[in-house]
Amino acid sequence: MTDLQFGLDTFGDVPAGTSHAAAIRQVVDEAVVADELGVDVIALGEHHRPEYSISTPETVLAGIAGKTDRIRLASGVTVLSSDDPVRVFQRFATVDALSNGRAEVILGRGSFTESFPLFGYDMSDYDVLFEEKLDLFVRLLDEKPVTWSGTTRAALDEADVFPKTESGRLPTWVGVGGSPQSVVRTARYGLPMMLAIIGGDPARFAPYVDLYRRAAEQLGTTALPVGMHSPGFVADTDEEAKEIFYAPYKVMRDRIGALRGWPPLRREEFLSEVEHGSLYIGAPETVARKIARAVDKLGVGRFDLIYTAGAQPAAARMRAVELFGTKVMPMVRDILAG
């Protein structure tokens, strides 16, 4: 699969001793380097927590747009459930204009729930919020007057939404964490699917890729490219990558675990995930071989590396971006080409 696309994802993790503002500027600098090195996509996730700096991906993407030439500018993900579909469309259509057609949206529910009380939504409406808002957003993609009604926002009657995109359609994915219902829904709307694979053997997601393609065939829609994103880190050697990544990752993982009832991360568990699971950590050749295996097993057309997962130092993060673009990407393509 030599036409495989590559992306870099970040939530704007805040390195120790760094302000939120500096962390945002750092992401812009990393995106500029990624653009220069030929990375296909930069995807920024939305969070509303102290350890992350990016709460409005499209605002940061607009800043990146003015400093880059070719890299596509994506959210990863936009938490549609606690946002307004009309405003999301307008903001990304604006980024699309500023970037000469490089914007794309990845819609999802998000891995945290802080945005729900923050913006006045009830968690008991978790499912209906996403279902209704995704339905409205898909209608907006046609860029024609929309008539719509539901229970989660005011109805629309022949509402025309601006600005329009120059291409006539904003590229839109749905992020899926492994729910069969989410897979089928994505196929029903005829949207490409991005699999969030953050733990365990990536091969366990092969049935979801198959389900997506079968559902699209049965529903009469088109099975569009499937992507995957997973955390990882690239350094000059395997040991250096593990040492730089582990301590900040453990802090982040244990903080999340405390909220979800998980035990503290043990180093043995971490090393097992690096060796057999969905942490892509090591020297360029190590990471490239592991990416190539996952891509081959799942048959995906895009791989996004979440290159920050914890407060890794700024210089090491930039080096990871450089190694991903200059070494990992060409190595993966060579491996897959046989």
Instruction: Pull the structure tokens for residue 94.
Output: 């604006």
Residues of the chain predicted below pLDDT 70: 1-2
Domains and their CATH numbers in the chain: 5-337 (3.20.20.30)
Strand partners, 8: 42, 305
- Amino acid letter, residue 74: A
Tokens, residue 109: 């529910």
Helical spans, DSSP H, in the chain: 20-36, 57-65, 85-98, 115-118, 126-140, 180-188, 206-219, 238-260, 267-276, 284-298, 314-323, 329-337
pTM of the model: 0.96
pLDDT at residue 212, as a whole number: 97
- 271, amino acid identity: L
Contact 14, 52 (CB under 8 A): yes
**What's the rounded Cα separation, in Å, for the pair 327 and 324?**
6
* Amino acid 327: pLDDT: 98
- pLDDT of amino acid 259: 85
Q: What is the pLDDT of residue 110?
A: 77
DSSP-assigned letter for residue 328? I
